[in-house]
Amino acid sequence: MASGDIEQGQEKAAICGQCHGKNGISIVPIYPNLAGQKEQYLVLSLQAYRSGERVNMAMTPHARKLSDEDIADLAAYYAAMDPAGGGLKQTD
């Protein structure tokens, strides 16, 4: 699996942050936290929404618009975030 680009992911995540929180920590319990989630899990979840295997009224319309590259970038971005809400972890 090719790894996504964190900076690209950050740009693409502007709309995602409306529900999942700017730091990947959601302020509303019905929206799952994404910060620090495993990259592979994020990719598989987004692919599942896109294909219709996993269906959610809030999530499906957003996932439908994503390319494979978008999914890889978004997964890399959220996986690189601090699960405690500190935003992007320091990377070298």
Tell whether residue 45 is a contact of ligand HEC (CB under 6 A): yes
User: Can you give the length of the chain in residues?
Assistant: 92
Tell whether residue 6 is a contact of ligand HEC (CB under 6 A): no
CB 36 within 8 A of CB 24: yes
Nearer to ligand HEC, 2 or 28 (CB): 28
Backbone angles phi, psi at 26, to 5 degrees: -80, 145
CB 4 within 8 A of CB 89: no
* One character per residue 53-92, x = contact with ligand HEC (rule: CB under 6 A): -x-x-xx--x-----------x------------------
Q: Taking the complex as a whole, how short is the minimal distance between the CB of residue 91 and ligand HEC, in angstroms?
A: 19
What CA–CA distance (Å, rounded) separates 61 from 40? 21
Q: Using the structure block, give the residue that is written with the tokens 């405690």.
A: 84
Tell whether residue 40 is a contact of ligand HEC (CB under 6 A): no
Task: List contacts with ligand HEC (CB under 6 A).
Answer: 15-16, 18-20, 30-32, 34, 42, 45-46, 54, 56, 58-59, 62, 74
